[in-house]
Amino acid sequence: MNKLIRIGTRASALALWQAHTLQDLLNAKGYTTELVPIKSDGDLDLVQPLYEMGTVGIFTKTLDAALLNNRIDIAIHSMKDVPTQLPEGIKQAAVLERGPVLDVLVKKATAVAFENPATIATGSLRRKAQWLAHYPNHNIVPLRGNIQTRLTKLKDQAWDGAIFAEAALVRLDTKTERVEILDWMIPAPAQGALMVVCRTVDTTIFDSLQQFNRTDVALCTQIERDFLRTLEGGCTAPIGALATLEGDQVHFNGGVFSLDGKRKFLVSETFGKSTAQNKGVELANALLKKGAATLLQEFKSSL
């Protein structure tokens, strides 16, 4: 295939890292590529919390439009930002190698006495809910912006720490000291994963991208996203999910949390890879029957 492949990407440093990663993969196989940076609504408004913006796919819809309007040929996204229902005419073409999946706390001081009142910054309701479940006497403040902006805000504000995705810090080679991995916090569905999409009708490009698809990562992220979709939770809902594969066994942890962290519904299960296809749906339905539906309805009513 000698045709130029136009790669759509958001213009942030992290998004460009993702796009360059895909470009390098394609170039190494002899494809001719160019990057087409496009600003999303989520990039233009760096103040309003995402959950207040009321738009599904706040970071992806402008790239979707560019793809459908033939301004670009493929787009790459942080998979956790992608709505579980892709727009008509767009299909998932590849899931790349997954990065670190967990959340981390970047602390202002070397030691933080978490048993005492503290102020922690995050723009994620999922992180807020789980943090308050652990530390109910802490104060959570909103935090928006790209990685460098958020790190600068942490430095300038009288906060004790801020929560980030470990993958973002690693990918940007951000030299931050005083980082604590939050292995007790269930990450966002598909956190650390990268999704490449193309037009449904463009079978040639789809076939070209299949060689970069990591089937095990695609399976784990599908389980996580099926769990999210079945719970009818958007990207901002306080829902966590993580599936990991060891040999032919899949380990899954998922949860739905109240915004104040006082109530939660958790599921943890191990099952065979051969039976994994519909597990995200099954596990989500089990939580809904246990009472998670009430929490999610309260969440929707609060927006």
**Residue for token digits 């306080």?**
238
Strand partners, 250: 245, 271
CB atoms within 10 A of CB 203: 11
- Give DSSP secondary structure letters for 98-156: -----EEEEESSS---TTS--EEE-S-HHHHHHHHHH-TT-EEE---S-HHHHHHHHHH
Side chain identity, residue 58? I
Closest CA to 85 of 62, 54, 57, 109: 57
What whole-number distance in Å separates Cα of residue 24 and Cα of residue 28?
6
The active-site residue out of 64, 73, 81, 103 is 81
Q: Residue 156 catalytic?
A: no
Pull the structure tokens for residue 185: 């916090």
Closest CA to 115 of 165, 155, 160: 160
What whole-number distance in Å separates Cα of residue 155 and Cα of residue 140?
16
Q: Decide: helix, strand or coil at residue 77.
A: strand
Q: Decide: helix, strand or coil at residue 94.
A: strand
Catalytic positions are 81
